[in-house]
Amino acid sequence: MVAMTQLRVGERAKIVDLSRVSDLVKRRLLDMGVTEGAEICLKCTMPLGGPFMIENCGQCVGIRRHEAMNIQVKPL
């Protein structure tokens, strides 16, 4: 289990723990279909500490780096 920020671009992973993410962010992620057990693919990372872009079920979602550090994933 690693933080989402440790994935490489193009790497696929399964989300295993969202417990350290704030309730507000967790709710927003749930609205977009990003839940524990979901498979994601890291599409790109923005420079200078910018957000991460992940793909989940065909849609791309941007996540702040700070929030991504609190999301635990299991690389596939």
pTM: 0.88
What percentage of the chain reaches a pLDDT higher than 90?
Answer: 97
* pLDDT tens string 2-29: 999 999 999 999 999 999 999 999 999 9
Helix (H) or strand (E) holding 35: none
Q: Which superfamily, per CATH, for 1-73?
A: Ferrous iron transport protein A (FeoA) (2.30.30.90)
**Which amino acid is residue 51, in one-letter code?**
P
List strands edge to edge, sheet with 12-17: 2-3, 72-75, 12-17, 39-45, 52-56, 59-63
Instruction: Give domain limits for the chain.
Output: 1-73
